[in-house]
Amino acid sequence: MFDLPFFSPLSATQRKTWNDQGYLHLKKAISTEEITAVRNRVEWHWANPSGNPHNVDVITGDYAGQCFTMNDTPLTVRGEAYKLNNLFLRDDTIRSVALSRRLKRIMGELLQSEPMICNSLNFERGSQQDAHIDSWYMPAPDDESMVAASISLDPVDDTNGPIFFYPGSHKIAPYRFSDGRLNVIDAEFADCRAYVQAQIEELQLPLIRYQGGPGDVFIWHGQLIHGGSPIRDFSRTRSSLVVHYWRASDVPQQSVVRDKAGRAYLAHTLRGELQPVAA
Ligand SMILES: O=C(O)CCC(=O)C(=O)O
């Protein structure tokens, strides 16, 4: 049973920013200990690749565009931009940071229901990903009830590939593919992109590059257009934990797990690469 907090964890200004602009920037929302704990988990996975089934998507370098299991990931990938997928399913530390008391209250307020982790990504560098909308890839069961967070472990500025975003773009009417849904149909993607670009121009939405410190959390609406800026100084890391949240009440209850601390998460991963856990 999840009770929405009686007192909002957000100020009136934060609620207005969220409603009008589709994002929030929480300063120092996680502690130095939590930053270290997440870093240690990533170190552990690199140090223990044997039989490790987590997927690593390589973004730059000789293996760019390839996906490996941790077990098979060439060691040089660590010096590139990459995404380590879905540690949340088996890792209590990742969940304890992604759904800390404060973040759980805030995600609960934004979703107006109990938040559930449906995906997590660990990065050591910026993704440099094109402008996109998360519901193209992992639409919530009811289409729109998704929020995402990038929990910064490093300082973020213009040179280490910050997230960029278009404030207010979450209000653009979603593009529906020919099956009526929000997930990408490849053959129709060019039309979708043209629609989104035309909307940005018509509404004259500015492009903002995020800047923040370690421990800051950038939260965005599942329909906000965003992406990763080019990395201008590749010697700098931009380690982060990105988490996508759905509402626990939106999925069949046999697919929701709650850990001992009552944190809800999907019992399987959306790409199905890990053995599901018992709900
Ligand atoms: O951290 C980044 O560079 C982008 C992350 C992102 O866009 C996402 O996970 O949807």
Task: Write out the DSSP string of 36-66.
Answer: HHHHHHHHHHHH--TT---EEEE-SSTTTT-
Query: Is residue 123 classed as helix, strand or coil in its secondary structure?
Result: strand
Written as tens digits, the pLDDT of the chain (279 aa) is 677 777 889 999 999 999 999 999 999 999 999 999 999 999 999 999 999 999 999 999 999 999 999 999 999 999 999 999 999 999 999 999 999 999 999 999 999 999 999 999 999 999 999 999 999 999 999 877 999 999 999 999 999 999 999 999 999 999 999 999 999 999 999 999 999 999 999 999 999 999 999 999 999 999 999 999 999 999 999 999 999 999 999 999 999 999 999 999 999 999 999 999 987
Cα of 7 vs centre of ligand 1, distance in Å, is 31
Q: Which atom of ligand 1 lies at the shortest distance from residue 240's CA?
A: 1
26, 216 Cβ separation under 8 angstroms: yes
Superfamily of domain 12-169+208-266: q2cbj1_9rhob like domain (2.60.120.620)
Rounded distance between C-alpha atoms, residue 199 and residue 133, angstroms: 13
Q: Which pLDDT score, from 0 to 100, does residue 1 have?
A: 62
Alpha carbon distance 99, 119 (integer Å): 13
What is the reported pLDDT for 142? 87
pTM, rounded to two decimals: 0.97
Q: How far is the CA of 129 from the centre of ligand 1 (A)?
A: 7
Q: Give yes or no for a contact between 126 and 240, defined as CB atoms under 8 angstroms apart.
A: no
Please report how many Cα atoms fall inside a 13 Å half-sphere around the Cα of residue 87, on the Cβ side.
28
**How many other C-beta atoms lie within 10 A of the C-beta of residue 262?**
11
| Atom of ligand 1 at shortest range from CA of 127 | 3
Helix %, strand %, coil % for the chain, to 5?
30, 25, 45
Do 72 and 93 meet the contact criterion of CB atoms below 8 Å apart? no
Residue nearest to atom 6 of ligand 1 (CA): 227
Q: Which atom of ligand 1 is nearest to the CA of 226?
A: 7
The residue with tokens 């797990």 is 257
> 126: Cβ below 6 Å to ligand 1?
yes
Ligand 1 within 6 A of CB of 242: yes
Rounded to the nearest angstrom, the distance between the alpha carbon of 228 and the centre of ligand 1 is: 6
Q: Which atom of ligand 1 is nearest to the CA of 123?
A: 1
Count of CB atoms within 10 A of residue 207's CB?
15
From the alpha carbon of 150, which atom of ligand 1 is closest?
Answer: 1
Q: Which of 23, 117, 121 to mutate to test the pocket of ligand 1 (most atoms within 8 A of CB)?
A: 121
What is the 127 CA–ligand 1 centroid distance (Å)? 6
- Please give the distance, rounded to the nearest whole angstrom, from the Cα atom of residue 236 to the centre of ligand 1: 17
For the range 106-110, what are the long-range contacts, defined as Cβ-Cβ under 8 Å and sequence gap of 24 or more? Answer: 106/9, 106/10, 106/24, 106/26, 106/219, 107/147, 107/149, 107/219, 107/245, 108/2, 108/4, 108/5, 109/4, 109/5, 109/8, 109/9, 109/10, 110/18, 110/147, 110/219, 110/221
Please name which of 32, 96, 101, 45 lies closest in space to residue 75, comparing C-alpha atoms: 45
Asked if residue 230 lies in contact with residue 128, where contact means CB atoms within 8 angstroms, the answer is yes
